[in-house]
Structure formats: C-alpha cells, structure tokens
A and B are shown apart, each in its own frame.
Chain A
C-alpha cells in the first residue's frame, strides 16, 4: 500500500491551499481550558499555541484528555471554561469554524452507505463547484490516499486502514486551514504510516496548522515542530520538539571503538570521579557522567585510546521523556 505522493507535489488540491497561506502569527490558540466529566477533571487549564506552518504533536496516555481537547477545539464539545481562538477571533460555535478546520477522527465515521466519490462530493457541496471541478478534486484526493480504484465502492466495504485513509481524504478535500488528526495512522501498515507522515510534512510546507495526536512517538519526533505532553489534565511538558529533546538530553556519551579496546577503556574510566557508570554496547562503550562534565569525560576517553572512531552524545527520545514522566507520575501516586 502506498499513497501517490507525486500528486501532492503537483496537484491543485494543495496549490489551492496556498491562497492566503503566507500570513504569519499564531493561528490556533487554546487558552486555559478546563473540562470535567461527572466531577472528574480531565483537562485542568490546558493552553497551547500553534503558528502557521507548524505541526503540533499532542501526546498522552489513553484517557489523558487528548481527544477531549481536540473535540473542544472542534466545537463538538463544550469546555467548562477557557477559550479557543483562530486567527485572532474567538471561536464560539461550529459556524465560526466552517471551512477553516478539518477534524480527522481516529476511527473516521463517514456516511458509510455512500461511495467514496459520493461522500467527498457531499462534503464539497458548500463550495458550490461545477461537476467537473468536483470530479477533478475528488480524483486528486483519492489518488493522494491511494483509494482511486475504490472510488465507486461503498465506504462500508472498506477495511479499517482504507477507512482511515478515507478519513484523511475527507478532512482535506475542502482544503481547511487547520487540520486536526487524531491517531491518523493507528490502523495503517508501516508504509501507509510513512505516507501519512509525508502528507503531514506537505501540509506543513503549505503553511497549514496541523495538530497531531498519536501514540507512535517516533512519528512525533519526525514531523512535529512542537510537542505537548498531557499528564494529569495539564500539559506537563511543552515546547519546540528540539528544545524539549535538548532539555532532556542525558548526561551520557557513546564511544565507538573496536571490540578489543572496550575492556581497556572501561578499565581506564574506573576511579574517575566524574563518571557514574560504564557499560559495553554493540559498537563500543557507553559512559554516563555527572552533569556538566561531558568535555572532561571526552578528553579522558581520547587519552585512553587512539582507536576511537566516534563519540556521540546520547540523545533522549520523546518516548523516554514520556515514559519518565509517567514513571514520575506513578511514583507520586
């Protein structure tokens, strides 16, 4: 399974989105959202901002409130308090969102008795396009999500993965400025997932605002400019993805060197007060040290062996940050 990415590069669907797409500034602002269900607080003062051309990754455990937040932004759920602003205008009802926002649900629920073409045609009715224009747009978007061959088949007959791709096509067909994707690739195979990421990257190039919720944290690292990790109803960690990763960088290096040299290096680090621990890996030796001692440890390593091929500072992953946050949460409990 693969999507036709070339269509995306040249197709009119995405070119249309360029109109008015070069304005700068925060497009989506969520201010201090509170929401409870039967006195159980789900969101406790969530705020975030997304600029034009940014992809925001929303991460959290199941039940953390990601979908609730997305529902509130999409105005299909009322917040107990707080505000949603788009393009400097407060959103008070679904009418204020008309044509501006496409909310792609985790399990897309179209009118399954319709064919793919009929459903997309139905979504395009408010645009009042000619039949030829509708056909062209539908063909392009179905080609994009690789569903052209089932254009005239009922959505009901689609597999879950096909329905998910149909959901993406439905959310993009009317060319919204803001795209919210709730677990867009949960039912897709790795190739399909990869293509979804390419679509998101392309949306970013088109200066769209994209909010993505997913449990596949590698995807977040790959495409998201900003992340927000929801924990206990608040955004516990947020910021630019790179900043968050750097902030949580570990105090450890991986020294790559031949196997025979590994013992010598480990022995050499024994008794060095800045070094917390050493361990052998497939490629070399991992050295964990006290904060702020990286250069000293690196110099020591270089003095111990002439056969070092590389020294890499070990980076934290979103997954590790997320897991550590949850561990801390469990400890607090």
Chain B
C-alpha cells in the first residue's frame, strides 16, 4: 500500500518543475564545480598570479583534492541552500491547497502521505546526486592526478555529501510538515547551515571545537578536506567524533520525522 503512495509521489516529482529542479540541481552544481576547477587551473597556469590561500587547498591544480574540495564547497553552499528552499514547501503547499483533504477522507493516513513525500524527495535528490557525482567522478579520475590521494577518498566524500543532503532535506521537510509554513522551516534550516556551525565552533570541549561533535560538522569535515588526511581520519579522537556524530545524526534524522508524525495535525488555515 505504501509503495503505491510512494510511486505516486515519485511520479509527481518527476512531472513537476520543482521535482526536476531538485534532481537536476546536483548535476548543475557538479558542472559548475568542474568548470571552476578547470578555470582556476588555467588562471594559475597562464596568469602569473600568486594566491597562497588557493595553493593551501590545492586549487589551481588538477588533482583529486582540488576537484573534490570544489565539489564539496559548491554542494554545501549553492546546492544545499537551493535544495532547502526548493524542498521547503513540498508538503505545506499541498496541505495549504487542501490536496490532502480527499486522500485523508478516503482513508489515507497523514503519516503515510508525509513519509511518502519525505522518502520520494530523498530518493529523487539521491538519484540526482548519483548522476552528478558520476559525471564528477569520471572527470576527476580521467583528468586529475591523484597526488597522493585515493579513489576511495573521493567516494567517501560523495557519501558524506549524500548524508549531509539527506540530513537537511529530512529536517526541512519535517519542519515544513510540523509548521505548515514554508518560511519557518527554511529560515530554521538555513540558520542551522550558515550560523549554527559558527556558534558551535566557538564552544570548545577539552580543547576541541564542539561543532565537531555534532552532525553539523559534516560540513566542515568535507569542506576542509579532512577526509584526505588518513592520519586525521583514523585516530581515537576522530573515531569518537564519528560515533557521536552518527548517533546524533540518526537521532535527529529519525526523531524529527517521528515527532512530526505524532505531533502534527492537518488543518486548513481558514
């Protein structure tokens, strides 16, 4: 029964501009990231400009680190923000337009309608990311040099980006369902993406930044290319971080939709 509802929502996203945008967005972000990497490479090569900051991150070179870092930066900034805005009214717009009235009358539960919307959106975005990352992967392994990095590190970055996107899409759709107003969820999640990590970074625990013990640190882990430091990636400290992060991630990613289902009623504004 749920599969049929899911199929309906999946089909719905494929037939609506918003759904197509959500799916195509990772590909656009990927193409932009690739263009920037290539652009910076040629700028650095043919224009004799010394930008030490770019050199630190590895930009200006065609290697795995610069390619993946640029993708992560674009995904975390433009990709994530646009996705949040696009997904921020998926549920509330249908409720506001009273599209859920007859399905609820017919015996559908608001729980299945909400979960179906959540899962179909996640799957649709995941599909888009896989296509985008495939393009990026082909570009990286064909045109970029490893320079000491490994293919598994690229794949691990993709996985982290997918987890990050799924996390925020989960939060935005749940908040949208709870508040029934798109702007509230969008503002809260954008604050979580833009401001909260900075605030948490100011707090130190045992000499370490507290943000690293929250799921919001995924942003930092990916963007700082920490993943490319095998030494930094596999020690007791980082393992503890990963365990706490994963636990908190799961708690929020599962807890918020469960709370939304149990606390939210479908009501019209007038």
- Does A123 belong to the interface (CB within 8 Å)? yes
- Does B40 belong to the interface (CB within 8 Å)? no
In the complex, 8 of the A-B residue pairs with CB atoms within 8 angstroms, ordered by the A residue number, are: A97-B105, A98-B106, A101-B105, A102-B102, A111-B94, A114-B11, A123-B106, A125-B5
Mark each residue of chain B from 110 to 139: 1 if its CB lies under 8 Å from any CB of chain A, else 0: 100000000000000000000000000000
**In the complex, what residue of chain B is closest to A121 when comparing beta carbons?**
B4
How many interface residues does B have (CB within 8 Å)?
27
Residues of B within 8 A of A94 (CB): 104-105, 110, 265-266
Mark each residue of chain B from 252 to 270: 1 if its CB lies under 8 Å from any CB of chain A, else 0: 0000000000000111101
Residues of A within 8 A of B108 (CB): 125-126
- Does A278 belong to the interface (CB within 8 Å)? no
Q: 8 tightest CB-CB pairs across the interface, nearest first?
A: A126-B107, A113-B15, A174-B106, A123-B106, A76-B268, A99-B107, A109-B97, A98-B107
Q: How far is the CA of A94 from the CA of B267 in the complex (A)?
A: 10
Q: How far is the CA of A170 from the CA of B15 in the complex (A)?
A: 21
Q: How far is the CA of A118 from the CA of B1 in the complex (A)?
A: 14
B12 with A111: CB separation less than 8 A: yes
B104 with A98: CB separation less than 8 A: yes
Which of B4, B15, B101, B270 has the most C-beta atoms of chain A within 10 angstroms of its own C-beta?
B101
Residues of A within 8 A of B16 (CB): 113
Residues of A within 8 A of B45 (CB): none
B99 with A98: CB separation less than 8 A: no
Interface size class of A (residues with CB under 8 A): 35 or more
- Does B103 belong to the interface (CB within 8 Å)? yes
Query: In residues 85-106 of chain A, which contact B (Cβ within 8 Å)?
Result: 93-95, 97-99, 101-105
- Does B224 belong to the interface (CB within 8 Å)? no
- Does A68 belong to the interface (CB within 8 Å)? yes
Residues of B within 8 A of A37 (CB): 270
**In the complex, what residue of chain A is closest to B107 when comparing beta carbons?**
A126
Q: How far is the CA of A4 from the CA of B15 in the complex (A)?
A: 31
B268 with A71: CB separation less than 8 A: yes
- Does B204 belong to the interface (CB within 8 Å)? no
Query: In residues 43-92 of chain A, which contact B (Cβ within 8 Å)?
Result: 68, 71, 74, 76-78
Mark each residue of chain B from 9 to 42: 1 if its CB lies under 8 Å from any CB of chain A, else 0: 0011001100000000000000000000000000
Give the shortest distance, in Å, between B201 (CB) and chain A (any CB).
42
Binding site for B on A (CB under 8 A): 37, 68, 71, 74, 76-78, 93-95, 97-99, 101-105, 109-111, 113-114, 118, 122-128, 154, 170-171, 173-174, 176
A74 with B105: CB separation less than 8 A: yes
Residues of B within 8 A of A68 (CB): 270
**In the complex, what residue of chain A is closest to B96 when comparing beta carbons?**
A109
Residues of A within 8 A of B102 (CB): 102-104, 110, 123, 170-171
Residues of B within 8 A of A101 (CB): 105
**In the complex, what residue of chain A is closest to B8 when comparing beta carbons?**
A122
A103 with B8: CB separation less than 8 A: no
Q: How far is the CA of A171 from the CA of B98 in the complex (A)?
A: 13
**In the complex, what residue of chain A is closest to B19 when comparing beta carbons?**
A113
From A77, A110, A173, B99 is in contact (CB under 8 Å) with: A110
A174 with B107: CB separation less than 8 A: yes
Give the shortest distance, in Å, between B122 (CB) and chain A (any CB).
19
B101 with A103: CB separation less than 8 A: yes
Residues of A within 8 A of B105 (CB): 74, 94, 97-99, 101-103, 171, 174, 176
Given pairs A102-B102, A113-B15, A171-B105, 12 additional interface contacts (CB within 8 A): A71-B270, A76-B101, A94-B110, A95-B109, A102-B105, A103-B102, A109-B98, A110-B102, A122-B4, A125-B1, A125-B5, A126-B106
From B15, B109, B266, A76 is in contact (CB under 8 Å) with: B266
